[in-house]
Structure 1
Amino acid sequence: MSAARAPRTPAPRSTKRSLASIVLGFELIIVFLAGLTLFGLDAIQPVPREWALYGGIALCVLTVLAMAMLRSPVGYWLGWFVQAALMSTGLFVPIMFIAGGLFVALWTYCMIIGEKLDRQTRAYIEAEDRLQAQAENGVA
Structure 2
Amino acid sequence: MRTLCASTLIGEFFVIGFAGLVAMQLTDLPKATIWTVSGIAMLLSLVLCGMLGRPGGVQLGWALQIALIASGFVVPTMFFLGAVFAALWWASVHFGRKVDEAKARWAAESPTGSA
Q: TM-score, normalised by structure 1?
A: 0.74
1:96 equivalent in structure 2 = 78
Q: 1:44 aligns with which of 23, 27, 38?
A: 27
CA distance in 2, matches of 1:123, 1:85: 36
Q: 1:74 aligns with which of 24, 44, 56?
A: 56
Tell whether 2:35 aligns with 1:35: no
Deviations 1:48-99 (A, max 9, x none): 3432222111111111111121221322122111111111101122111011
For 1:25, the aligned partner's letter is I
CA distance in 2, matches of 1:81, 1:44: 24
Alpha-carbon contact 1:35-1:56 (below 8 Å) kept: yes
Q: 1:53 aligns with which of 35, 50, 54?
A: 35
Larger relative helix fraction: 2
Structure 1 unmatched runs, 5+: 1-15, 134-140
Name the % identity. 28
CA distance in 2, matches of 1:32, 1:68: 20
CA distance in 2, matches of 1:110, 1:31: 19
Q: Based on CA coordinates, which of the two structures has the bigger radius of gyration?
A: 1
Report how many residues are paired: 113
Q: TM-score, normalised by structure 2?
A: 0.89
Q: 2:2 aligns with which of 17, 37, 48?
A: 17
Structure 2 unmatched runs, 5+: none
CA RMSD of aligned residues (A): 1.6
